[in-house]
Structure 1
């Protein structure tokens, strides 16, 4: 029995998981900033900053609270109900840029080895959950996120590297994957096989999605990309929801044990028998050349317990729209594009560099 509770409608997908809710929160903040760039005491952004700070356990707060101006630096009591009320009055503005920014921020904050930050805790409260539904309905109706629920775009795949070295291509189906399974036996490692190449699609401006949407971004300002060429007939398993991940685990099970490391203690689920399943990528590679995680599935299911029927699983370490490649039938185009992070008004954007 797979996890049948997985949401299927885009609106429900967006509010189902912590990354989706964080996206909605960041989108609402970005919308308000278009017509209210300064966070005054009556703004939604002001309320979010103070409420999130209050929700963060003291031992996880890190640096002292500092607002965007001197007035905001003084902590103000702010209830979740007040945050939700202000959110209900935010004018929403749909654009590719604002959606891209919100998704980038939500992905970057996916740090499952740490305690959830105040914004994630705030977005998970029942009061804000109800208010975020309006944002989810609006974004879904805009049509700008429809590609989040589509299969891999085989002809538009790019691989990104931050250090100038692209992952080695598998020489044969069984050349690299065994290393991955050995790593996965301790769940301090993510559930995606990093030793093999992974790619994302080109966005409307030609930049790869993998430039923008990176979990726990390390602050890189330069990158390179190259095209990945996959055969038209390549079989790619589509992860559209947690149910698909559960199916992958049941069809190709690899039982692993939580090692108890600092990262695993906050991110890994277990049942009473301490059984956790992840996909056996060696067996997956016998039938599929790649596995693609749709953006909608990432937002709904990343780092949440997934019921496979006989054990639990968890999907961590993936980026939105990422496809991992397990087959020797893929190749690199050989053409490299340089990218640099540059200022564009109040935000930073990726642009081609010479």
Structure 2
């Protein structure tokens, strides 16, 4: 087990820099670049063939080579903010942590395809909006999903929520140790995220003024209406701006989730080993909030992050630009609520004010 240092807390990582590592370092960044490249019809057709051959279990050497060549032939620049946003939305919606990566993610990670996306990645890093790398912004929104079964902003105090969360994680881990088979191929699933559940979650706005929490949703369930509620707060915010910021949390506040996450995260990442997540109930003693930048999401989410030689972790279940409030230093506002509705027939989904 990783032992945290005797001193508590850490200086907030320096945020706001531009692309500490390549956007191609992470599955989500590679998928974003592939989505941009596939706006060209020739690339889209080659991607369809490469994905089809892999879905059929074929050795996709020729289709993969054709895709890489199509990407190389059709390099372009000058992506608009909406094109970047649309590709980001698709990449986020495609994230999975309980099954093998989607075929397009698999294809984007192939060596030849990844190499062909280098020029696209360079353009993304140049053209990405500044807020993709920014610390938590002042204007924040939380989302109240109005469809049946949609989560609403939490009402209970953050300390109570985190105590319940920790008790649940420990109980689930204990059950998994007692009852789950050691065979990795066993057809079972369970807890797979690494977020602090049932605390206030907020995001800033995208370039078009839409709250990021409306459009940037992993595994979107098709909600058609929502209310964005302004959130007011301040406090000590831990910025997850690079992979090392996440590993620092895991080292200082380790929580062993090997038994409960092992099967799901093996399918998602291909790694078999011991797993940690941050113990958010302990993080809250030093920090009021934790914020994940879009840049770090693209370079680091959905893949194993080494904590040391034995342990690793996954940024799982997060969304880009999300801030989780670990104390009650933030609250939802009484006024300024905005109702939104999905624009019918849009893919990926766009939203309009009602």
Q: 1:174 to 1:269 in 2, by over 3 A?
A: farther
- Residue 168 of structure 1 corresponds to which residue in structure 2? 154
3-state SS of 2:88 partner: helix
- CA displacement 1:168-215 (0-9 Å, x = unmatched): 2453x5211012223334472411012111111012332111111111
- Residue 298 of structure 1 corresponds to which residue in structure 2? 297
TM-score (norm 1): 0.81
How many aligned positions are there?
A: 315
TM-score (norm 2): 0.81
Distance 1:294 1:347 in 2: 21
Distance 2:271 2:37 in 1: 35
- Say if 2:192 and 2:261, in contact at 8 Å, map to a contact too: no
Matches within 5 A, 1:1-354: 10=19, 12-30=21-39, 32=40, 39=41, 43-56=42-55, 58=57, 79-90=63-74, 91-142=76-127, 144-153=128-137, 155-163=138-146, 166-171=152-157, 174-185=159-170, 186=173, 188-231=191-234, 234-259=235-260, 263-267=264-268, 275-309=274-308, 311-335=311-335, 336-343=337-344, 348-353=349-354
- Say if 2:51 and 2:107, in contact at 8 Å, map to a contact too: yes
How far 1:57 moved relative to its partner? 5.1
3-state SS of 1:176 partner: helix
Distance 1:115 1:346 in 2: 23
How far 1:260 moved relative to its partner? 6.7
Cα RMSD (Å): 2.7
Distance 1:343 1:218 in 2: 15
Distance 2:222 2:346 in 1: 19
- CA displacement 1:128-185 (0-9 Å, x = unmatched): 111111001112222x3332111000x21100122376322453x5211012223334
3-state SS of 2:339 partner: strand
- CA displacement 1:299-328 (0-9 Å, x = unmatched): 111121122225222220100111101111
3-state SS of 1:304 partner: coil
Distance 1:311 1:226 in 2: 39
How far 1:51 moved relative to its partner? 0.7
Distance 1:57 1:345 in 2: 29
Q: Give unmatched runs, 5+ long, in structure 2.
A: 3-16, 174-189
- Say if 2:243 and 2:296, in contact at 8 Å, map to a contact too: yes
- Say if 1:169 and 1:330, in contact at 8 Å, map to a contact too: no
Q: 1:18 to 1:131 in 2, by over 3 A?
A: same
- CA displacement 1:22-44 (0-9 Å, x = unmatched): 000011223x2xxxxxx4xxx11
3-state SS of 1:79 partner: helix
